[in-house]
Amino acid sequence: MTVLTTQDLVIDIPGRASGRPLTLRVAPGQRWGVLGPNGVGKTTLLHTLAGLRAPRAGRVHLDDTPLDALKRRTVAQRLAVVFQDRQDGFPATVLETAMIGRHPFLSPWRREGAEDLARTQQALAALSVDHLADRLVTTLSGGERQRVAIATALAQTPAVWLADEPTNHLDLHHQVAVMKLLRDQAERGAAVVMGLHDLNLAARWCDHLLLLFPDGQHCYGPAEAMLEPGALARLYGQPLTMARVDGAPVFVPADPALGDPHD
Amino acid sequence: MPAVNGRGLLALALLAVAGALALGLSLAVGSVPISAAQLWAALTGGGDPLHRELVLSLRLPRALAAFATGGLLGLAGALMQVLLRNPLADPYVLGLSGGAAVGALGAMLVGLAAIWVPGAAFAGALLSTLLVFGLAQGVGGWTPTRLLLTGVVVAAGWGAVVTFLLTLSPAERLPGMLYWLMGDLSYARSPWPAWLLLVPATLLVLPLARGLNVLARGPLQAASLGVAVRPLEITVYVLASALTAMAVSTAGSVGFVGLVVPHMLRLALGNDQRLILPASVLAGGALLTLADTLARTLLAPQQLPVGVITALLGVPTFLLLLYRSR
C-beta separation of B285 from B67 below 8 A: yes
Pairing of strands A240-245, A248-253: antiparallel
Residues 6+ apart with CB under 8 A from A110: B2
Q: Compare all CA atoms of chain B with the CA of A110 and give the residue at the minimum distance.
A: B2
Query: Which residues sit opposite A33 in a β-bridge?
Result: A194, A209
**Can you tell me the distance from the alpha carbon of A22 to that of A19, in angstroms, rounded to the nearest whole number?**
9
Judgement on whether residues A55 and A184 belong to the same structural domain of the protein: yes
DSSP B267-316: HHH-S-HHHHHHHHHHHHHHHHHHHHHHHHHTTTTSPPPHHHHHHHHHHH
Is A202 found in the same domain as A118? yes
Q: Which residue, A145, A82, A156, is CA-closest to A119?
A: A156
Q: What's the rounded Cα separation, in Å, for the pair A37 and B83?
A: 36
Do A168 and A241 share a domain, yes or no?
Answer: no
Kindly state the percentage of chain B with pLDDT values over 90.
42
For residue B220, what is the nearest residue in chain A, using CA coordinates?
A52
Residues in chain A closer than 8 A to B270 (CB atoms): 92-93, 96
Mutate to test the interface with A, among B217, B263, B266, B275 (most CBs of A within 10 A): B217
Question: Does residue B57 sit at the A interface (CB-CB below 8 Å)?
Answer: no
Contact B266 A90 (CB under 8 A): yes
CA distance linking residue B207 with residue B200, whole number of Å = 12
Nearest to A260 by CA among A238, A243, A244, A235: A238
Inter-residue contact A29 to A207 (CB < 8 Å): no
Q: Is B326 an 8 Å CB contact of chain A?
A: yes
Q: Are residues A31 and A137 in the same domain?
A: yes
pLDDT tens, per residue, chain A with 263 residues: 899 999 999 999 888 888 899 999 999 999 999 999 999 999 999 999 999 999 999 999 999 999 999 999 999 999 999 999 877 667 889 999 999 999 999 988 888 889 999 999 999 999 999 999 999 998 999 999 999 999 999 999 999 999 999 999 999 999 999 999 999 999 999 999 999 999 999 999 999 999 999 988 999 999 999 999 889 999 999 999 999 988 888 999 987 776 555 54
With CB atoms and an 8 Å threshold, state whether B225 touches A136: no
Give CA–CA dist A114/B28, Å, rounded: 47
Q: Which residues of A touch B224 (CB under 8 A)?
A: 50, 52, 76, 79-81, 83
CATH code for position B49:
1.10.3470.10
Taking contacts as CB-CB distances below 8 angstroms, the residues of chain A near B89 are none
Domain that holds residue A249: 229-263
**Nearest residue of A to residue B271 by CA position?**
A92
* pLDDT score of B4: 65
Does A75 contact B226 at a Cβ distance shorter than 8 Å?
yes
Q: Closest chain A residue to B210 measured between Cα atoms?
A: A108
Whether chain A has a CB inside 8 Å of the CB on B231: the answer is no
Any domain includes B1: no
The answer to whether the Cβ–Cβ distance between A50 and B224 falls below 8 Å is yes
The number of residues making up chain B comes to 326
> Which of chain B's residues have a Cβ under 8 Å away from the Cβ of A77?
226
pLDDT per residue over B219-263, tens digit each? 899 999 999 999 999 899 889 999 998 998 888 888 889 988 998
What pLDDT sits at residue A131? 96
Q: Which amino acid is at A198?
A: D
**pLDDT averaged over every residue in chain B:** 88
Question: Which residues, including other chains, have CB under 8 Å from residue B151's CB and lie 6 or more apart?
Answer: B93, B94, B95, B132, B136
Q: Could you tell me the pLDDT band of residue B157, with boundaries at 50, 70 and 90?
A: very high
Residue B217 lies in a domain: yes
Question: Is residue A149 domain-shared with residue A183, that is, in the same domain?
Answer: yes
The amino acid that residue B84 corresponds to is L
- Nearest chain A residue to B270 by CA distance is A92
Residues A154, A197, single domain; the answer is yes
Separation between Cα atoms, residue B279 and residue B129, nearest integer Å: 26
- Check CB contact of B83 with chain A, cutoff 8 Å: no
Contact B210 A103 (CB under 8 A): yes
Dump pLDDT digits (tens) for B76-131.
999 999 988 887 788 888 888 899 999 989 998 888 877 888 889 889 988 998 89
Give a yes or no: residue B147 inside a domain: yes
pTM for the model: 0.90
B217/A88 CB distance under 8 A: yes
Domain containing A47 — which CATH number?
A: 3.40.50.300
How many domains, in total, are found in chain A?
2
State the Cα–Cα distance between residues B56 and A196, nearest whole angstrom. 70
Amino acid at A71: K
Q: How far is CA A149 from CA A36, A110, B226, in A?
A: 23, 23, 16
Nearest CA in chain B to A158: B225
pLDDT tens digits, B195-213: 999 999 999 999 999 999 9
Same domain assignment for residues A36 and A140: yes
For residue A84, list chain B residues with Cβ-Cβ distance below 8 A.
none
Terminal C-alpha separation, chain A = 46
- Show residues of chain B in contact with A89, CB under 8 Å: 82, 85, 216-218
Residue B162 Cα to chain centre, angstroms: 21
**Counted domains in chain B:** 1
Does A140 lie in the same domain as A44?
yes
Residues A178 and A156 in one domain: yes
B57 residue type, one letter? S
Residues A143 and A236 in one domain: no
Cβ atoms B222, B215 nearer than 8 A = yes
What crossing angle do the helices spanning B174-182 and B96-109 adopt, rounded to 10°? 160
How far, in Å, CA of B287 to CA of B73, rounded?
11
Question: Residue A77 and residue A92: Cα distance in Å, rounded?
Answer: 23
State the nearest Cα–Cα gap between A208 and chain B, in angstroms.
24
Q: Which residues form the domain of B208?
A: 6-324
Q: Cα(B118)–Cα(B200) distance, rounded to whole angstroms?
A: 21
The enclosing H or E element of A26 equals strand A22-26
Residue B2 scores a pLDDT above 70? no
Instruction: Tell me whether strands A4-10 and A208-212 are parallel, antiparallel or unpaired.
Output: unpaired
Which residues of B fall within a CB distance of 8 Å from A111? Answer: 2-5, 274
Is residue B223 less than 8 Å (CB to CB) from chain A? yes
CA distance B308 to B283: 18
For residue A27, which of A222, A225, A233 has the smallest C-alpha distance? A222
| Chain B interface, best mutation among A48, A73, A90, A107, by max B CB count within 10 A | A90
Distance to chain B for A65, nearest Cα, Å: 17
A109 with A46, same domain: the answer is yes
Give the whole-angstrom CA distance, residue A149 versus residue A164.
Answer: 11
Calpha distance A148→A83 (Å, rounded): 12
Per-residue confidence (pLDDT) for residue B7, from 0 to 100 = 84
Count CB-CB contacts under 10 A for residue A188.
Answer: 11
Residue type, B65: A
Which residue from B287, B294, B114, B258 is spatially nearest to B190, judged by alpha carbons? B114
Whether residues A26 and A63 fall in one domain: yes
Point out the residue among A86, A109, A136 whose CB comes nearest to the CB of B221: A86
CB contact under 8 A, A89 and B218: yes
Residue pairs between chains A and B whose CB atoms are closer than 8 Å: 88
The nearest alpha carbon in chain A to B275 belongs to: A111
